[in-house]
Amino acid sequence: MDFRQEWITTIHDFRIEEGTIISSLEELAEEHTMTLLIPMLYEEIHGSSLDNIIDHINESTYLNRVVIALSAEDEQKYIEVKDFLSRLKIPHTIVWCNGPTIAHILEDLKKKGLDISMFAGKGKDTWIALGVASLDSFAIAMHDADIVSYTKLLPAKLFYPIVEPDLGFFFNKGYYARIDMEKLIMYGRVYRLLLSPLLNALLEKTKFSSNFLKYMCAFKYPLSGEFGMTSDLAINIRIPGDWGLEVGLLAEVYKNAALKRISQVDLEFYEHKHRSIGIDSDDSILKMIQDITKTILRNLVEVDGIDINEAFLQSANVLFKRTAQDRIRQYHADALCNGLNYSRHAEECMVEEFSKIVLTSGKEYIDDPSGLLLPDWKRAISAMPDIREKLKDATLHDHNTFK
C-alpha cells in the first residue's frame, strides 16, 4: 500500500473510519459551517447515480447546506429538478445558473464594468454557486452529480482536513483509482496519457527548475472534480471558464496558498460516467485536451516566466511522446499483473493523437495567449458589493415563482 508523501501533504486511507470522522465533523460544525456544492445538468436527474447520492447526503447531518449549481434549459426542467431534489432533508439551495433571474443580475454586473457573458458551462456555474455558498460557510466542498460509487464518507474526507483546527488546510483535493472493477478496465486516460507525461516532459524541458510543475506533479489525480476549500480562499481565486477548470483551479490555489496549507486525500475506488475518447467527435475529449494544454502553458508563463515559442513546443512535444510511451509500458505491466483488460496498441494510438493536439494547441496559445478566467469574487464584490446577496435572493425568487 502506498504511504509516500509528496510536495503537498497526502492523506492516505489506511483505516479512516466513517463513523469517527463524521462524529468529529458534527462537533466541528458548531463553529465551522460546511456547505456542499454540486454542479449538475438537468439530465442527471434521469441518471442512475443521483438517488444514491441524495440518500447519503441526507445522512451527512454535519452539513449546513447543499448548494446545487444547476444548468437547465427552461422553466419546466428547473421545476422537475426542484421536485426531484425535494427529497433532500438537508437545507438546500438550487442556483439556476442559466435561468432568467440570474441572467438579469449578471447583466447588472456587466453595466458595472464586469462582463462574464462570454463564459458558459461548468466553470461559470461553479463561479456563481461559490459566490452563494461563501456567504454563510467556513468551508465549501464540491463534487459532481454522476458518482456511481458515492458514500457519505466522500464529502466527509473532503471537509475534514479543512475544518479540523489541528490540521488547518485551506485546500484539499480528492484523488482515486480510475479502475472499473467489474469490466476490469483502467480509465483516467487524459491524466495517464496526456497530463502526467506532459507535466513531466515540461519539467524535464525546464531542467527541473519549475516549482509550479513540481507542485502539479505532486497531485495523484489533478483532473478530479472533488475538492474542499475555505470560503476565504474561494473568493480570492479565479475560476477557469473552459475545460481547463480542474488544472486551472490547482494553479490558482498555488498562487494563493502556501504549500503547507494544501493537501490531497484518498477517495479510494471511484466510478462515474466516462467521456467518449473519439478525437474527431463533437462528443469527445478534444476540447478538454486543448484547454488543459493551453492552461499549463499559460501558467508556466505567469508563474515561472518561461518563454513559450515554437522551438520550445517542438522539443517539449518530443519529450512528451517519449514520456507517454514509457508510461504505457508501465501501465501494461500494472494491468497484466492485476488481470485488467489493456491494449497497448490502442493507448499508443491515443498518444499519437494527443501529441498532435498538444502541438496544435501550443501553437494556438502562442498566437493568442489570453485565457478564459472568471474574475475572483473579491473583484466582483468590489464592482457590486451586494452581488452575492442578490444571487441568493434570486434562488429564493426562482423557488417561489416556478412551481
Alpha-carbon gap, residue 28 to 22, rounded angstroms: 10
Backbone angles phi, psi at 12, to 5 degrees: -85, 160
- For 380, residues 6+ apart whose C-beta sits below 8 A from its C-beta are 109, 114, 131, 387
Domain ranges within the chain, ordered by starting residue: 9-398
Mention every residue, 6+ apart, whose C-beta is less than 8 A from residue 375.
114, 116, 238
Residue 282 or 278, more confident: 278
Q: What is the pLDDT of residues 153-188, one digit of tens each?
A: 999 999 999 999 999 999 999 999 888 888 999 999
Contact 28, 139 (CB under 8 A): no
Q: What is the mean pLDDT of residues 368-394?
A: 95
pLDDT band at 238 (very low <50, low <70, confident <90, very high): very high
Cα separation, 266 vs 269, whole angstroms:
9
SS3 141: strand
| pLDDT at residue number 273 | 59
Mean pLDDT of the residues in the chain: 94
Percent of the chain with pLDDT over 90: 87
For the segment 317-323, the average pLDDT, to the nearest whole number, is: 97
Retrieve residue 173's grid coordinates.
Answer: 483535493
Query: Once rounded to an integer, what is the mean pLDDT over residues 16-34?
Result: 96
Closest CA relative to residue 289, chosen from 198, 368, 225, 187: 198
Look-up: residue for cell 475529449?
285
Higher-confidence position of 270 and 332: 332
pTM to 2 decimals? 0.95
Say how far apart CA 81 and CA 91 lie, in whole Å: 15
Would you state the pLDDT for residue 281? 45
Residue 380's nearest CA partner among 37, 108, 36 is 108
The pLDDT value recorded for residue 182 is 87
What SS3 class is residue 11? strand
Which SS3 state, helix, strand or coil, does residue 40 take? Answer: strand
Note the CATH architecture for domain 9-398: Alpha-Beta Complex (3.90)
Helices vs. strands in the chain: H and E counts, helices first: 16, 10
Neighbours of 122 (CB within 10 A): 22
Of 211, 165, 151, 171, the closest CA to residue 13 belongs to: 151
In angstroms, the CA 199 to CA 204 distance is: 9
Instruction: Give phi and psi for 63, each to the nearest 5.
Output: -70, 135
Q: Is 321 exposed, middle or buried (0-12, 13-18, 19+ CB in 10 A)?
A: middle
Strands 227-230 and 171-177: antiparallel
CB 220 within 8 A of CB 195: no
